[in-house]
Structure 1
């Protein structure tokens, strides 16, 4: 029977380099107090032995855990998983967060927390006790939950708040949702649309109101009314059906609609087809998110592409900097979204 190969540990590296365990740990953790020649000696031993640092080894310094904890909305995420509708937001968080963490020797762990749960503080406190994270990334609606931000502030744990620009401590980051809505509205105005509807997300997401503000401001600037052109959903497909039907059965139905997420946009397509409307001949459509689904609709949807991976990567970098005492001023860090134009938008029939 073949003998199992013994794993290389930090002790083997220390012995090979002829240094203490603490010195190896300081080199692994990229501490500035290590002499250059000592770094070279330890790195040579690491390369020779093929040693891969573990979190336990990195924690030997006692000051860091090398873990970044990301919190996402439990109910919405699980509902999407169970419906097998995909959770591109989580995928993009993993992409940006994990790659950025790996560059710095950190690990990213995602926990699902129900922000409306009375036990949210207890759940988060348990996660913090178990993981001892060096930083926490909050996503909407957690970003503006005072129970969560208050607990992290009290524990003196650096945290980043994605999709937030209100006072609440930590590092606020946004994707300029207001500017993205303005971009989408200007695109439709440029095609000749004058009646542009909007399906907003739920009020507990601050970004929902920012998007409405961007749409309204652009319409106002063009001298156009928004009265009767706003409907509200909760990001679910079913709510998108109700909102789309309310707009498209109105006597002054819009020639274009901007929808605050992909699921509600898919519902809007179905409602439009059921009412005998063709996209984009009778109705132009722009959605937020730009998940893979919208590339395969008929027609493919023009979409606001949210840079979730990029903003999560930026959050990781800022949290690691905060661990080094380089906490930035608490002003919103903006990683702007962009518009991807596809076949769901065109000039209205009566343009010109």
Structure 2
């Protein structure tokens, strides 16, 4: 086992065949270090179990090596997956992640943000939806000159670096998958109205129906809020219709799992009586039965990229970057599982 107490930056430099300055630049995410050198140094760091002296790093760099993450998302599965990945990534980057849940009262949330800035002295902030579009929070960070990265914002896309996926296209393709399986009576449960992705997913669903000349009645669309309970309420309404849908597309996995539970209570066979699909591919999609067909949103990659962007310091001066460089779009994947299948025309 590596001796954590005795491993020094000098030892890492000698083992990697580079200077101590190069090791320091690698640990501080300096973009000018070549990938080959970075990989070589990090391999030695891991092998020797080296951990930099935090106090020394702070004195030398003028940074706190604390990052803040602010969330107010009703989906527990989404938040859990994002936080775990962000915590792991921040540790690998040599940072500590401070996680704060937003308060129902915006004034108290603003106070928490100011404490992160003034007391904890965070080097940067990650804003998850819907807080990524909260103007009051954005104003506080901008005024304090704190770099921030937003995940899935809906407005002011030239304001900061942001990370997203094509929610519209993913929903379009997921709905088309159901259509190709023979479904025409496809219902949708809309997500949280405070999040722009809900509108994009709903629009993708509508456009997929229209492009295939499919018209569904208004009662096939239910308003949810990305929570399990809202999925149960919507599922109860949809599956109680006299002419119930043969497929239901819930805008996230939490709501899809809830619809599955309602269907099972009603004695319906999934997917033969009703197919159910979700969105995100969180852990819940793999633990309910049948497993949920869904869109794999790159949640882990989004968290990793958010940490990487802040650690790189590239976007500390936005005047030096183009608008196109602020946008980071990650790929999605349609995942077919047991909750949907090919059917004959119904």
TM-score normalised to the size of structure 1?
0.79
1:264 has 2:262 as partner: no
- Computing the radius of gyration over CA atoms, which structure comes out larger, 1 or 2? 1
In 2, distance between residues paired with 1:235 and 1:184?
18
1:310 has 2:301 as partner: yes
1:343 has 2:335 as partner: no
Could you tell me which residue of structure 2 aligns to residue 71 of structure 1? 70
Q: Deviations over 1:139-185 (max 9, x none)?
A: 01111111111111111111111011410622122122112211210
In 2, distance between residues paired with 1:261 and 1:128?
33
In 1, distance between residues paired with 2:134 and 2:178?
35
In 2, distance between residues paired with 1:126 and 1:286?
41
Larger deviation, residues 99-108 vs 266-275: 99-108
Could you tell me which residue of structure 2 aligns to residue 329 of structure 1? 323
SS of 2:107's equivalent in the other structure is: coil
Structure 1 outlier segments of 4+, above 4 Å:
5-10, 23-27, 29-32, 323-328
Structure 1 218/98 Cα, relative in aligned 2: closer, same or farther at 3 Å? Answer: same
SS of 2:337's equivalent in the other structure is: coil
Q: Deviations over 1:322-352 (max 9, x none)?
A: 257565526532112211111111234535x
Report the CA distance between 1:251 and its aligned residue. Answer: 3.3
Could you tell me which residue of structure 1 aligns to residue 236 of structure 2? 245
Q: Which runs of 5+ in 1 are unaligned?
A: 18-22, 33-42, 81-86
Report the CA distance between 1:27 and its aligned residue. Answer: 5.4
In 1, distance between residues paired with 2:216 and 2:101?
37
In 2, distance between residues paired with 1:212 and 1:28?
48
In 1, distance between residues paired with 2:342 and 2:169?
22
Report the CA distance between 1:197 and its aligned residue. Answer: 0.6
SS of 1:119's equivalent in the other structure is: helix
Could you tell me which residue of structure 2 aligns to residue 55 of structure 1? 54
SS of 1:301's equivalent in the other structure is: coil
In 2, distance between residues paired with 1:303 and 1:254?
18
- Asked if the contact 2:161/2:315 (under 8 Å) is kept, the reply is no
Q: Which runs of 5+ in 2 are unaligned?
A: 31-40
CA RMSD of superposed structures (Å): 3.3
2:205 to 211, 215, 218: 215
Q: Deviations over 1:42-92 (max 9, x none)?
A: x9xx99x97631322211124322222221227x47xx5xxxxxx453234
Superposition pairs of residues 34-183 of structure 1, within 5 angstroms: 52-73=51-72, 76=74, 80=76, 87-95=77-85, 97-114=86-103, 116-167=105-156, 169-183=159-173
What is the aligned length? 319
In 2, distance between residues paired with 1:137 and 1:243?
32
- Asked if the contact 2:66/2:98 (under 8 Å) is kept, the reply is yes
In 1, distance between residues paired with 2:130 and 2:115?
20
In 2, distance between residues paired with 1:338 and 1:209?
20
1:231 has 2:226 as partner: no
SS of 2:142's equivalent in the other structure is: helix
Could you tell me which residue of structure 2 aligns to residue 293 of structure 1? 284
SS of 1:288's equivalent in the other structure is: coil
Report the CA distance between 1:261 and its aligned residue. Answer: 2.0
Could you tell me which residue of structure 1 aligns to residue 34 of structure 2? none
- Asked if the contact 1:200/1:208 (under 8 Å) is kept, the reply is yes
In 1, distance between residues paired with 2:4 and 2:135?
48
